[in-house]
Amino acid sequence: MYQDVIHNLKIFSIIALYFPNALICNAQNLANGLKLEAELSGTASSGSYAPLWLSSNKHGKVSAFDNSAYERVGVFRTIETDSARNWKRGYGVDLMLNQHANSIFFIQQAFIEASYKKLTLSLGAKEREIELKNNELTSGGLSAGLNARPIPQARIDIDYFSFPFTRGWWKWKLRGSFGFTTDGKWQRDFAAPNTRYTSNTLYHEKALYWKFGKENATKCPLTFEIGLQMFTQFGGTAYNVDYREHIGGKQTIKMPEGPKAFWQAIFGGGRDATDFTESNNSGNMLGSYNMRLAWHGPTWEVGAYFERYFDDQSMLTVQYGIQDHLIGIDAKFPTNHFVSAATIEHMSTRNQSGAVYHDRTKSIPDKMNGKDNYYNHTIYSGWQHWGMAIGNPLITSPIYNDDGRVFFHNNRVKAWHFGLSGDPTAELHWRLFLTFTQNWGRYAAPFKEVLKQQYFMAEIGYKPHKLKGWSGRLAFALDHGDLIGNSFGTQLTIHKSFTLIK
């Protein structure tokens, strides 16, 4: 472990010391707007795990275990610093020390990016928001969320631009990226003997969104956005894989990483070593359809959104219905001293195309595409990074597994989630979460009875005008139920921001 820490420190020394200094020396304008941010956070709780909303949807910064802490320091130059220019540039390095977590030292973010008009290129690991939802109040997205540590990647984004002759009433945007996960050693250390884990897994993301309407239209400020985002885990090495019935025993599988593997990650196709009579797709492919309808008032906004998750190909069409979903309503209110924003969400992942699955055979020529087993895969360790679900945290992350399996034991969930926030004064900000869930386990290993779990959190933030750059948050949270147990906890976070070069 300490050798890894020393290795990471060497990497940090190169990135955090040499690279920004080179930028400052060679191009002074690249240093304008440079900020240093420091943060301390401590969490204390009564259960084996911290309450869910103290550790989840924080980009993996906060440990899921009880009584933990972290220290962060980072230097950032946001791309918005060059908002008046056509060419925009940004970079950042964000370092963490952790106590009672799954790593002692971690480079949380390290990225450079450049933008020209609507086009943005970025390289590295960066915390990113999810689309079409209030990121402060949502429970998270189904396919992409706020829950796990960033994945280093090379990424291209093309922001919304108009279709010809539509005068801005019909826009589209798209993105694509390739990257790699960084939790191979953690998986090896966490996994129980003879259980599956992976290392050096590659990552691919692509998305296309359309937008109809204008937020600032005089007569009808109504917008509708619809998009498709897809992800693929491919390449890397999987250990202790259970082959299907034609091959016995546990195997080590080295997944292909050549040009063909990258092509199949983008366009689908191919097969895995564990496919039996029928080929599926090479790697772990998943994604979601996302929609949002919103009315934009002069000082307020109300919207409704819908996300439909799919795993492989079975839910790409509506032949199996739309019983699984994340549907929500949110609102931003005119300035007042009581409530600034509100979110209500309902999530269901219980159906998963039905409980029956089988490939075509000579005696049964029909193929049944059910039993999807969300977030899990026969080769890869599932849709997780460093033990935290990359998607929605209400699908129980592997970090909570007492059996040492990097696997999602509970992915059939129904939930109601409520979020509120307010700004009583210019210095105070508060949030309130209340979440109720029912949990069935998974089709192959259902719980003996439906397990209920409730999550509650209240948080107050303070940003004093007289202490420029200082802010703090104090949160209290409570978990109650039979899924991950009962826990009461509190979390204190103190943040300081310094402007190094104006």
Query: Which residues constitute the domain of residue 109?
Result: 2-501
Neighbours of 10 (CB within 10 A): 10
Measured at the CA of 311, the angle between CA 306 and CA 314, to 5 degrees, comes to 95
pLDDT of residue 368: 53
Among 221-230, 266-275, 305-314, 368-377, which stretch is predicted with the lowest mean pLDDT?
266-275
d(CA 102, CA 400): 12
pLDDT of residue 16: 45
List pLDDT tens digits, range 374-423. Answer: 999 999 999 999 999 999 999 999 999 999 999 999 999 999 999 999 99
Give the total residue count for the chain: 502
Average pLDDT in the 459-478 region? Answer: 97
pLDDT of residue 31: 83
Average pLDDT in the 367-371 region? Answer: 61
DSSP conformational letter for 334: P
The number of domains in the chain is 1
| Cα 257 to the center of its chain, rounded Å | 24
Residue 15 has pLDDT above 90, yes or no: no
List pLDDT tens digits, range 473-499. Answer: 999 999 999 999 999 999 999 999 999
In the three-class reduction of DSSP (H, G, I as helix; E, B as strand; rest coil), residue 104 is classed as: coil
CATH number at residue 106: 2.40.160.130
- The per-type count for the chain, helices as H runs and strands as E runs, is 5, 25
Element (H, E) at 291: strand 284-296
Among 28-42, 154-168, 269-283, 406-420, which stretch is predicted with the lowest mean pLDDT?
269-283
In the three-class reduction of DSSP (H, G, I as helix; E, B as strand; rest coil), residue 254 is classed as: strand
Residue matched to tokens 């918005």: 80
Residue 2 has pLDDT above 50, yes or no: no
Neighbours of 1 (CB within 10 A): 10
Residue matched to tokens 């906890």: 489
pLDDT of residue 23: 45
Residues 6+ apart with CB under 8 A from 266: 176, 204, 206, 232
Average pLDDT in the 462-476 region? Answer: 97
Closest CA to 384 of 246, 221, 197: 197
Among 10-14, 125-129, 355-359, 366-370, which stretch is predicted with the lowest mean pLDDT?
10-14
Residue 230 has pLDDT above 50, yes or no: yes
pTM greater than 0.85: yes
List pLDDT tens digits, range 275-333. Answer: 655 656 788 999 999 999 999 999 999 999 999 999 876 666 666 678 899 999 999 99
Percentage, residues of the chain above pLDDT 90: 79
Residue 369's pLDDT band (cuts 50, 70, 90): low
Residue 98's pLDDT band (cuts 50, 70, 90): very high
Percentage, residues of the chain above pLDDT 70: 87
